[in-house]
Each structure stands twice: as structure tokens, then as C-alpha cells.
Chains A and B, each alone.
Chain A
């Protein structure tokens, strides 16, 4: 692949996080004292390995031969023509082994677990994609694997639950709280605090305590690195806008990060608008939340006046989370990225449009980014939009059939 030929145009090169895992006022490490030692150890190991040639080679080989990278950059011609405005390029993360970008992070973290000599990994999962990606690498490396999943998500993502089981992982339904992703994360934290000596917790998004937001971003950044080089090679220029859906925000950080110093490239994250921002039934903390602390970091959070975390709603399990990665909070506050929201209905309409016009079933999470494209591309003639097609929608087929009133 061609090396990027465009120099950063900002005077200051973006270099976050700072000491202690801070992205401005966001991030940090708000955890039980018992975990600080493990987090220090993880941060130290990663600092040693991230530029280590052997580690990079091992990671690269796995990404090339096990995951199937680089993923293609694809011009969605019929969609572009039907919307009649901007040219739409899809970064095909749906073509990764296991069906989403999540595996890039789990491969990286599993290699870290191996270096630490930890025989067991745990994970939380919402849509199940991160759980599947964790179960996959655990099977490949011979690690024991427990995945926490909210009871409600176990029902709406039953295909992924079975996939995890087939690969030898133990899926533990979580019945506390709202029985979704946030509660799965609470339960994984409780497991980790109890088994911290022999267990590595593979957090699946750019949230959690430092160093996770940085670590997960770095492993996901292969998406943006490839896409940036592919744009230059295939299109001859950088995109005008990069769009990605944001739950915790790993696929968005992964594609945004290599573009942050390209001042001419707008970065747009799309949160889950659920039934609409005005209804309160959504999962859009960057649009309608306040600064708070949950799951180890300070960021925007959906919480009430008493600081209680609110239950969220989204048609997509993977976006159904009340918090968001701290680096997104920072990019919002410094104005480098903007964050929109798409409703369940808009996401479903975009999902169907991609089905019929491009022969692609995107994940319902990803469909939120596509909804932004459907709304905005017609207003952007002559411009270029790069969309992170973060995952495939096979896992969502039962949900979609249910919406259509069909029992499969």
C-alpha cells in the first residue's frame, strides 16, 4: 500500500492523552484501588511494546493472515447516484474475520495478555461483536474466556451468543440493573477485581480507565491508517468528511485518529437517537448528556440530577450505552469533531437502502452513520464522504425480521 503523501496541516501535531490518561478534562482512571496495580502494569507493558518491532510484526501478521486486512475501500456507486450529491466511499470493516472492526482490538489485547502470561481473558459485550471477537482470539491463542452480556442483549443477539459458545467461550448473562451493556461492564469489572492476578480484561471500546481508551484507539487506528492511504491512492485526495457511528466510540476513534491533523477533513460521529433526542429514549450522551464518571473515566454521560446513570434506548445493542469514550468528549469540546444523532427509524431506512442499492447488509450500529450520509450527501455535491462501514448486519437479521413482523 502507498505511504501517505500529505503532510499534517495543523501547526501542532495532535498528541493525546497526556499524563494519567487525560484528554483535557476527560479520561483518567476512576477505579477501585485493587485495580490500579493491574492498570499500571498494562500501561507499562504497552509503552514497552507499542513500538517494539517483534510485537508490531506479530500484530501485523495476525491482521493480514487471520483477520484479512487491509479491508477494501469501496465506492458505493449506486448509493452515490441515488442520493445525487457527494461521492460515498465505504471502508469495508464488515469484511474483517468475525464481521466487524472489533477483532483488531481483541487481537492486540490478546497478544498483550499472552505477554503478561495471563491464561484467562474476560470481556463485556452489547451487540455481541466484541464478545465474538474476544472468543475468537481466545480460541486461537488457547486462552480461557468468559464474556459478560446483559440478559436483554442475550435475547436480541442470540446468534452471536451461539457463535461465542461454539468457539468455547462461556457467556454469562447479566441480570442486574438495566440488563444491557453498562451492566455487563459492571459485572466484568467485578470479575476482574476478583481475578486480577490471572485475568486480562479485554475492554471492547475506547472507554474504561487509562490506558484502555488509548490502547483500544491505537489498535483500532489501523482502520483510519489504511483508509487514509487508500483515499490518496484510489481517489487521489483526502475525503471532505469522515463519518462513523458512536456508541462507546471505538470504530469512530479508529477511523478519526489518523485524520485529526488533517484540518480540511471534517470528522462526524453519529450517536443513537433512539426514538428521538426530545423523547429522552436514546443513547446520545454527546448530544444530550452531562459530564460525569462511569466505568473508570470522566466523559459525557446520560445521568439524572442525582448522578444516577439513566437507562438508554437504541434499536442497536452495540450503541445502547449511556457513556462515550473520553477522547470523543475531548474532540467535541475542542471542536475538532462534531456529533450528530440518528433515530432508530432513520437508521433502519438507511439499512434498507444499502441492502437494495449496494447488496450490503450493514450492522444496525453502522446504519446510524449511513443515516447521516443519506440525510447530508444530497447537500454536498462535488464532495467526498468516507464512511466507516464498521460491521456487517448478519447478527441483526432476527431483529430486522421482528420489526417486519416476520418469524424466521
Chain B
């Protein structure tokens, strides 16, 4: 050995202080720094996109929660409005009010107060608030009353210093007279869809989402948990089980719009279930959410150590008792975490619901599972199509509400995972 090494010419030892070597090392360290900065840049850019998105939505949306109101004094006694107070008792009230020209009375009052040019001061739906007030207290009809009514969309924008010059001027005039105010828009949280951006609300869509999610949860959770138990604990290794596993894994990766096509072809055209109903939307989303729950459930059940099962079997439990008395309770936190994440995804889903007709204009909140409804994400989509400037802030405000719910659900899932997760 030694002879052979000595026979070859001896390598000169690396001279680390050599100029060329120093430069090469510097170069390598510089490239190391560049690479590291590149990584940091990528992370910051990705996070920056998220921050930019959230800030854009928050900046646009915060204004959606406020609205501008104009003070209008309506003297019902002097107005041309004629409504028989007796008609306002009981069932005929709606018909009686629909027949009366409340809108005209309000317009007259506005003109009397702000001059002839003030026709376009109020939102088209402002008189509805007066109508509701009369309905609540028919005695109003005999006196004069001061109302704060929603301003026209353009004026509302002007109040938020984003309107046209003409609107800004009107707003300043009104502001000097102290007859305009901007406050929290309660109607946005309690109302339903409308054609006028100043009076739209998300309660209708929210209720639709709630009904849809209830159906989804009621179907996807039991089915998902039961299949997870079967596949993980009982299924024999054969072709059928493989088929079930393959279809569950594939279903988890199928684009959501395909589920919409399925819902349209099977539930609407074949089974003739009602269109636009939370029932159909819920079933469709349940088919989509189920694989997520199955996969999460299987992982949770798999992580329960076999010793638990052996011990239960050892003291004489049957195989069903082993699973339902011992394994399932221990796996439940993991299953719940997966379920909440799956439900959060279903809550934000839009495309399949468009397919089954949940994009209709629904002006009143749904009363049941089979009534036409829309859901929050679809409502956002519908509003985003509107050309009116006032809808931009409403869309962003609805997005803020949706994101808040998703954040809360994901936060709950993380909390559950941290609190109940067990390392065996």
C-alpha cells in the first residue's frame, strides 16, 4: 500500500490562502447567500400575496358594513297618503300597504325638505323602511315622524370619499345641515339579496349556507365515519375492498364541478328533486366531503394502537364492541378535525352549486330545506357580476364574513387537534 502511494507524484496540499481558492470560496458562500435569500423571498412573496389579498378585501369590505342615511321628516297627517289604520290589523296589512303610495309620500317629503333637485337623494328601496315602521306602529299615520333612510348608492360612495364630484358636493351640503349620517349597516347582516346595493344583506345567503351545511353534515359525517371504520377495521383484503379504496381516493381528487354535473344529471333530471334547494346542494356537497372525512377518519383510527384492541378482545368484548366502545372514542378527535376541515371546504365551494341552480336571485331568506336558496360563496359570485359601484364593497364585505367563518372553523380544528391529539 505505502509503496504504491509513494510511487505516484505527491499531491500538493490545498493552499487555502491562495488567491484563486479564496475567490472560489467567496463565490460559493455568495451563492449560498443568494440561494437562501431566494428562498426567503419566495416565502415572503407567497405570504405577501396572502396579506395583499386580505388587506384588499378588508379595505374594500370594511366600508360595506357602514351605510349613509339621510334624515327625512315625513308628516303623514298632511301627506296624500291614505291608509285605513283598521286595515293594518291582521292579514290584510301587506295588501293595504302595497296599495298605498308610500314611496310617493316619502319623495314628497324629501322634496319639501331639500328642494326640487333632491329627487335622487334616497335609495330606491328607502320607502320599505317607512313601510315597516308603519306596519309596526300604525299610530304613526296621524303624526309627523323623523326617519333616517338609506341614501342612494352614489351618495353613499361620496360619504366614503369615493364618489363623483357632484355627489361629493351634495354630500357636503347635507353634512353642513347635519341631515346625513354614516353608521353601522345592520341591514347588511339581517337582509337578503336585492337589486339595490344600499339595502342588500347576507342573512338570506347565510341561512341558505346553514341549511346546506346541515344536510351535508347529516349525510357526510355518519357515512364517512362508518366507511372509515369498515375499511380500517373489518374489510377483508379482496377485490371489492380495493375497489372501494380506489374510488374513495379518486373521489377526493375529482374536480368539484364534476360533482355539480352529477347533481344536475342524477338529482335534478333523474330524481326530480327541487331546483336551487339546500337539500340538493347539501347532498351534492356531502358526496364531495365524504371522501375527505373517510381519509381523515382512517388515519385517526389507524393511529389508535393495536394494544387497545387486543386488551378489549382479551376481556371478552366482541369485535363490534371493541370498535364502538374503545377505538372510536379514541379516534374521535382526529375524525372531528378532519370533518371540520372538510366542512370548511364545502362551505367555500361555489362551482357545483352553480350547476344545480343555486345562483337564482333569492330576495327572501329560505324557510326550509326544499325552498329556493343561495349560499354565501354563490352570493359573492352573483354580486361580483353586478356593474353598480356599490356592490364592490358589499361583495368584499360578504367575503370578509365568509373568511371569518372559515378562519373560525379552521381555528377550531387546530384547537381540537392540539388539545386532544395523543401520542401513543
Is chain B a partner of chain A in the same complex?
A: no
**B contacts, CB < 8 Å to A:** none
